[in-house]
Amino acid sequence: MSLLLTLPLLVPLAGAVLCVLLFRSPGAQRAVALGVSLAHCLAAGALFAGVRGGGVAAVQVSGWPAPFGITFVADLLAAVMVCAGAGMGLCIVVYSLFVLDRGRERFGYYPLVLALLAAVCGAFLTGDIFNLYVWFEVMLMASFALMALGGERPQLEGALKYVTLNLVSSAVFLSGAGILYGRVGTLNLADLSLAVDTHLSPGLLTAIAMLFLVAFGIKAALFPFFFWLPASYHTPPAVVAALFSALLTKVGAYALIRVFTLVFVHDIGWTHPVILALAGVTMLTGVLGAASKYDFPKILAFHIVSQIGYIVMGLGLFSVMGLAGAIYFMIHNIVVKTNLFLVAGIARRLTGETHLDRLGGLCRARPWLAACFFVSAMSLAGLPPFSGFFGKLALLVAAARTGHWTVFAVAVVVSFLTLYSMTKIWNYAFWKPAPEGMPDPAPGRDTETDRAVAGMLIPVTVLAAVSLLMGLGAGPCMRLALDAAEQLLDKGAYIRAVLGEGAA
């Protein structure tokens, strides 16, 4: 298990270093990135199989015992998230092979993508708060460089907004971690889970919890800290936006779930209703922003905010069904939202446009692209039998069981507004005739474009199929999510894996 826990970090890190050494050869970088992405998926799959079969696993780096050394821990939630991150990384690399310009390749696109994947996996697997901060910073540096890569004015403006708000988040995060360490003397998550109640008064612990809620809420784009995301995510190329939508906000949501199920559970009657209220407002704010826009990537960017609300809703409900719904919904959303951004990238490649008024005719010209969009869009809206329906159903059942009817109603209304947004894109970009002056998107106009689109459709088709399979196979997927949720609420297994059998 020591090897399995470290491989998902070491493989992409080694690939990033190798790509840097091959900076004079873009072709070699592409080959390395593809091979490393495949190896990363295999390493993530092996880790998942080990955790699924053997329970929570932990490794102490260099043999230093916890809580003094660097700890990596994998429970079911962490293992599933690592698999999702590796899978999205492979899809992004494959898509990039057909769409990325040589300028971005020469300036380090593939090393940055692999470094970002390593940082994301590090955040999922770390067992202490300080190293979570370190991985967040590595992730921030790589994502900032990716967003600014190309040097276009909108990209630079978006990158500045992105990095400024995330630096504020990092400062708040570090302040909370400093207070915790100063009062408790440890930042190991398992050790903190045992120590906070005896070293901190309830009021101070709640104040620290709010610091972490703000820090991770900014990174997850939770209300009222979300405004950096729709101002920046539409500016980079679609493949970069797809990578960001898949992973960055989900790391923030994962961090919220981790600390508010393991450490800050001293007053769930106060902290978690606050989280639930923020989730409801986040859902509503994001979907209203999406409904008001007529630009393809901007609509999708606002929907990232809205869908984060559903994930955090499950945490706020703080029940097995609520957390299971949040986990299932998070994986579904990673797959679906990534695919929608990739579809938007193909639409732009075919037409040169992203505004819905200047799009049209894609259903007749590219029926397979339209089918992949339809599957992902209806899944995002939550229509049966697609994956989004079952994630939302689990969250609604959890809300009904716990009597939270207000957030139940908000989730239903937001689902209908999401359907409106997706139908708007379908009607404008795919169903209505192509507007006068728009380039003909049908095959045969440009052989090079046709070859590129055929390659770009490979990951789009795979992700649409995964979304459909998650819906048709909702039973096994939800069983896995329920098992992961039960592990989260039973802290003992996590604590024993890190600190030893006598710890909890």
- Within-domain flag for 427: yes
Q: What is the pLDDT of residue 9?
A: 92
Give CA–CA dist 243/390, Å, rounded: 24
| pLDDT > 90? residue 418 | yes
CB 386, CB 468: distance < 8 Å: yes
- Within-domain flag for 435: yes
Give CA–CA dist 42/261, Å, rounded: 29
- Within-domain flag for 291: yes
User: Nearest CA to 187 among 170, 78, 196?
Assistant: 196
Give 351's pLDDT tier (boundaries 50, 70, 90): confident
Looking from the CA of 223 toward its CB, the CA atoms found within 13 Å total 25
- Within-domain flag for 68: no
Looking up tokens 């096994």, which residue turns up?
476
User: Nearest CA to 244 among 169, 154, 145, 160?
Assistant: 145
pTM: 0.93
Q: What is the pLDDT of residue 438?
A: 78
Give CA–CA dist 149/143, Å, rounded: 10
CB 1, CB 57: distance < 8 Å: yes
39, 99, 142, 450, 471 from 447: Cα distances, Å: 32, 14, 34, 5, 36
- Within-domain flag for 432: yes
> In the predicted model, what is the mean pLDDT of the chain?
90
- Within-domain flag for 431: yes
pLDDT tens by residue, 191-207: 898 888 787 788 888 99
65, 264, 272, 294, 318 from 322: Cα distances, Å: 34, 17, 12, 33, 6
| pLDDT > 70? residue 504 | no
Q: What is the pLDDT of residue 503?
A: 63
| pLDDT > 80? residue 103 | no
120, 185, 190, 203, 433 from 207: Cα distances, Å: 27, 18, 20, 6, 56
Give the range of the structural domain holding residue 340, as residue numbers without chain letter. Answer: 267-472
Q: What is the pLDDT of residue 233?
A: 79
Query: Taking each helix axis from N to C terminus, what angle separates 387-401 and 474-489, rounded to the nearest 10 degrees?
Result: 40
Q: What is the pLDDT of residue 502?
A: 63
Radius of gyration of the chain (CA): 22
Q: Where are the alpha helices (DSSP H) in 185-237?
A: 189-199, 202-220
User: Given phi > 0 = left and psi -120 to 50 = alpha, else beta, which region is 63?
Assistant: left
pLDDT tens by residue, 386-404: 999 999 999 999 999 999 9
CB 278, CB 219: distance < 8 Å: no
pLDDT tens by residue, 116-141: 999 999 999 998 999 999 999 999 88
pLDDT tens by residue, 460-495: 999 999 999 999 999 999 999 999 999 999 888 888
Q: What is the pLDDT of residue 243?
A: 92
In this structure, what token pair is assigned to residue 15? 């690939």
Say what percent of the chain tops pLDDT 70.
99
User: Nearest CA to 135 among 149, 116, 148?
Assistant: 116
Looking up tokens 């098992």, which residue turns up?
483
Q: What is the pLDDT of residue 287?
A: 93
pLDDT tens by residue, 321-345: 999 999 999 999 999 999 999 999 9
pLDDT tens by residue, 287-333: 999 999 888 889 999 999 999 999 999 999 999 999 999 999 999 99
Pairing status of strand 57-60 against strand 71-74: antiparallel
Give CA–CA dist 48/479, Å, rounded: 15
CB 303, CB 283: distance < 8 Å: no
Please count the structural domains in the chain.
1
- Within-domain flag for 239: no
The residue among 155 and 165 whose pLDDT is bigger is 165
The residue among 439 and 401 whose pLDDT is bigger is 401
pLDDT tens by residue, 234-277: 788 889 999 998 998 999 999 999 999 999 988 888 899 999 99
CB 44, CB 85: distance < 8 Å: yes
User: Nearest CA to 395 among 305, 287, 314?
Assistant: 314
- Within-domain flag for 399: yes
Q: What is the mean pLDDT of residues 275-281?
A: 95
Give 151's pLDDT tier (boundaries 50, 70, 90): low
Q: What is the pLDDT of residue 17?
A: 93
The number of beta carbons lying within 10 Å of the beta carbon of residue 416 is 11
Say what percent of the chain tops pLDDT 90.
56
